[in-house]
Structures are given as C-alpha cells and as structure tokens.
Structure 1
C-alpha cells in the first residue's frame, strides 16, 4: 500500500496522476489538464460532495491540474501548494489570461465600471491573482481595469513579484476575520490558512495544513529560548504567529475570529483540550 500523502498526490484505485506511475497502483494514469480558478473562492473537498467538509480553498487565479471532470466536479491539484481535491467545475476555466496583479487588501469589490457608486459584481480576497489591462481615473480615484471585465480600486492591487516584507503585518490585516474550518481567504480563514496566505503575500509558497507547516517550515527553536516576531508556535492541529515576545495572532475556535492573545494565556486555555505546544519554528529570511 502506498504511503504517499493523498492531500498532495492525486491517486485513486481507478485513476492517478501520470507522474505517480510506478509509485502507486491505479487502473488508469492521466496527465492533468491545466486550468485556473475563475471564481473568487473555490471550496476544496476530499470527496465530490458539497455536504462533505471543506479541506481548503483555492483563490481566483490559482492554477491547477485537472485529472477528471464528472457530474459537476473536477478532481484537481493546485500548483501553488500541491493540494489535491474536488472543486465544482464552474469554479475553474481553461485558458485564462496570465495574472499580472494580486489583491493586497483583505477584500475588495469588482465594479461593472470605474464607478465606486455602482453595485459590485463580486468581491475578491487578498491573494487573488488577476489580469489587469489598464488603469483609469474618475473623480480622483484610480481604477484597475480587469481582463475579465469590470474595475477595481487600483490601490487594492499590486503587481505580482512585489512581496510584502513583513508577513506578520499581513496576518494583522486579518484581525476579526471569521474563523472558518478549511478557510483560506479574507471571507473566513483557519489557523494554517492564515499562516499560508500571510507568507504567500510575502513571496513564500508554503504548505497548507498545520502538520505540513510544523514539519517543513523554518528551523526548530529550542524549548525555553526567547521568542520573537514571526516565530510559529504549534500545537497538535493548531498554529499561532508570534507578534512579539509575548503575544500571538491566530485564527481560533475560541473567539471564532482571528484574534490577538498572550501566548501564556493561549497555552493555559488550550492545554486541557489539546495539550501544550509541540514545537516552535523560526523562519529564515
């Protein structure tokens, strides 16, 4: 039996990614077809059933490989973090324009025209990648014109390839965002989703889930060592970001929001339910 992580490798008894041939058994192997997420947010499930739990979310502009489309579902793998799962077929499209910009505020509206008084068409989350074809100015407000149609506030977008220096400051922009299991956007987010999107905006593509982050990010910090801004504190199934030597910011099920908290208080509160922290990781530059 294969020991490959099914979250990061597309294989089933009947179908598997052609790149896994020789590593797994499957009735048929296929090469994925490139596509991209076309909706603001696409929920990702481990099975093709909307009633099943959401494992993560893909954002507009995320590129994926599609291994199968059937009964309104697409079995996909994201290029950004390698996550495998099922999304609704209407959430993806082939041949989308190459993104030029990324949304750099928590949420931002798309207007039908360059007019902020017009009813918005939709809303994008921080991290969404969009193709901008030009800019225009109306009454002192600059708008970015989208290849997909519509306009957004230009200052809410920045060109790709210009990351934020301090990923913790990105996490702070999500204060009071609702906690959502599997959430990875400005509409709702979980603890590891907060870490991932904050680091993504700082130019680092990192794993999605807490166990992956605890194993693969940075270097361990010895127990009792002084902690500082940007250190990651891990419990089993949970992660928090140090704001300074005493405070953390984390998406949590206690407040059901992204909130600030003293680390010592978080440790005391979480310990009876899930134990003490199991590790601390420090990211390099």
Structure 2
C-alpha cells in the first residue's frame, strides 16, 4: 500500500467534449499520453489553474485534462456510438449544420426518437439529434473485435489516440474490444500481460487465427486471418491490413521479433 500524507476522494465527472487529450503534465505543450471519449466517466483528484488531474474509471489511466472538457454527471448514458464517426445535429434534420462530431465508443443518453424524410434520429436531452443507425444500446455488443477494427481502416495514426479521428496501435485494440463489451488496459505492455491467454506460435506462425493479438516491444496488431493482420501502423500512418510475414520482417530491425501472441 502506498503511503501518503492525505488521501483525496475523487470527484465524479464526465467527459463533455468529443475527444479530450490526456497529457503527462498540466501544460498545453505536454505530451499526449491517451485520450478520453465523450461520455467517459472520470474521477477528478485535483483541479488547479485550469487543469484537472483525473483517472479514467474504465481503465484506470491517469493524467491531466483541461477543466472545461468535463461536466457533472447528470443522466446515465443509454447508447454507444458504433459508427467510426458520427455527427450531432441541433435537431432531427441532417440538413441542419452539425454542432459536433463523435467517435465510435462515445456514450450518449437517448430520450426518444424522431423521424424526418425517412431518417430516424436518436434524440438527446439537449434537443440535439444523432443518426439512430449509428447508435446501439450500451448492452448490445458485437462479438467480433476484428470486424470493429476493420471499420476503422484508413483512420489516421495518432500517438496516444483512441478514437475514430486518430488512433494508435494499443488504442485500436482497446476501442475494438470495448465495442465487444470487453474493457482492457490502455498501453501495449499492459495488454501484453492481460488480454486473453498466451499461446505458443509455431515456427512460421501458421497456427494463428483471426482475432489473435501479436505483440512486439512497443507494438500490437490483431490477426484478420491466419496470415493477415490489421493494426494502427506508424509505417503507413493509418489503420491498415498487412501480411504478418511482411510486418515481422519490417519491424524486426526496430523492435525485434514478436514477443507474445495472445488469444481471447
């Protein structure tokens, strides 16, 4: 147990901006270590000079965020965004100018539905609207994390990113598994010791199957088939498909051979 002069109970708050950068220090030029999505619940342990030190309740990650990106928890979320990206409109009409854009994994409260010109909208407490087919109830999850990752193809690579606007390798794993109802830890080294079970690959990795996770030092990918993987690649700077054999050869000179393979 850690010793401290005092312990401060966290203040429950909720992310109110579409995507919030979490920084290593309370400065705008500090490095981004991860991100929070709209509707994420956090605990605030310190609020000083415009910056909050918070902990993400979903994965335990801590860091600094701008205080104006948080709001009190007023209503419980009912739905989760399943489209890579979706728009929020000031009312139930897609011709209205959008008010913001939300990423896959964002949580919203839907209080009803409206239809206009054949399009169904989920209505939010603010009177705003989201395309209903871009939402599902939060307890309706998919069972194929690879299919989730494949919907994010060509999403730009972003160090520390966890959203449909920009994502890194472990962020892709975390978001894909979140959409299957399986919250996991944030960083590659954490995932390499906690996601699924270790399996022993054969010499040529021929025994891998769709859904397996391949870890390198500082990188992770998931198998889209027995020979192809999908990952957020710093090589292409996007979410991309790549033959496993090519990835192993390309990554070897930087990070060596794969360090682990895990299967759900």
Query: Per-residue CA shift, 1:221-264, capped at 9, x if unaligned?
Result: 11316000000000001000000100000001100000000000
Structure 2 residue corresponding to 1:269, chosen from 245, 250, 254: 250
Gaps of 5+ in 2: none
Query: Per-residue CA shift, 1:48-90, capped at 9, x if unaligned?
Result: 1121111111111110110011111111101111111111101
Aligned length: 261
User: Who is 1:35 aligned against?
Assistant: 13
CA distance in 1, matches of 2:144, 2:126: 31
1:155 aligns with 2:136: no
Following superposition of structure 1 onto structure 2, how do residues 1-285 of structure 1 map, counting pairs within 5 Å? 23-224=1-202, 226-283=207-264
SS at match of 2:174: helix
SS at match of 1:24: coil
Quick check: 2:201–2:208 contact (8 Å CA) kept in 1? no
TM-score, normalized by length of structure 2?
0.97
TM-score, normalized by length of structure 1?
0.90
CA distance in 2, matches of 1:223, 1:259: 23
CA distance in 2, matches of 1:258, 1:157: 23
Instruction: Give 1:165 shift.
Output: 1.4
SS at match of 1:192: helix
CA distance in 1, matches of 2:168, 2:192: 15
Instruction: Give 1:217 shift.
Output: 0.9
Instruction: Give 1:96 shift.
Output: 2.8
Gaps of 5+ in 1: 1-22
Quick check: 1:131–1:148 contact (8 Å CA) kept in 2? no
Instruction: Give 1:276 shift.
Output: 0.8
CA distance in 1, matches of 2:121, 2:68: 27
Please say which of residues 80-89 and 176-185 is displaced more in the overlay: 80-89
Instruction: Give 1:273 shift.
Output: 1.1
CA distance in 2, matches of 1:28, 1:148: 39
Runs of 4+ in 1 over 3 A off after TM superposition: none
Instruction: Give 1:148 shift.
Output: 3.3
